[in-house]
Amino acid sequence: MSTDGYDSAKDSFDSAKDAAKETFNDAANSAQNSANEFKQNFNQTVNSQDNKKILAGLLGIFLGGFGIHKFILGYNTEGIILAVVTILGILTSCILIGAFFVWIPGTIGLIEGIIYLTKSDEEFYHTYQLNKKAWF
């Protein structure tokens, strides 16, 4: 009779172990699917022409001093200018003039971000993506 109890417990343990493995595999597959979906949506957002307005506007507002919104729109020279001025300002911030070199690119980014978000989609596309207007 003790072997029956042992066999029953072993069978219960094995079925619980199998159920746990199945649950883990389902969770792993679900996580992988979510990661793939996120990656696809991220690539669509960065590469599509429609969503660059929102992405560039938000990056201009929050990270404008580093010129990231310029890189998103393909203005590499302008992005490098903003990034270099900001970094030089940070490095020289112990001198009073360095604070201005941090403040000015940040203000430019904030203004451009607001301008980007307030334009209509068509106007933004024509102004900044077709005609390549670099500043404001």
Could you read off the pLDDT of 91-103 as tens digits, one per residue? 998 888 888 888 9
pLDDT at 68: 94
In a domain, 5, yes or no: yes
Which tops the pLDDT comparison, 50 or 77? 77
Same domain assignment for residues 119 and 60: yes
pLDDT bracket for residue 89 (50, 70, 90)? very high
Q: What percent of the chain clears pLDDT 70, i.e. is strictly above it? A: 90
pLDDT at 46: 60
Same domain assignment for residues 61 and 126: yes
In a domain, 135, yes or no: no
The residue segments making up the domain with residue 68 are 50-130
Structural domain count of the chain:
2
In a domain, 136, yes or no: no
The closest of 21, 24, 113 to 73, measured between CA atoms, is: 113
pLDDT at 2: 57
Same domain assignment for residues 62 and 39: no
Which tops the pLDDT comparison, 38 or 85? 85
Same domain assignment for residues 105 and 55: yes
To the question of pTM greater than 0.85 for the whole model, the response is: no
CA-to-CA separations, 128 to 25, 30, 111, 120, in angstroms, rounded: 47, 39, 15, 12
What would the pLDDT profile of 13-62 be if each residue is shown by its tens digit?
888 888 888 988 888 788 888 888 878 876 776 666 666 889 999 999 99
Task: Please name the residue ranges forming H helices in the chain.
Answer: 2-47, 52-63, 68-73, 76-91, 96-118, 121-124
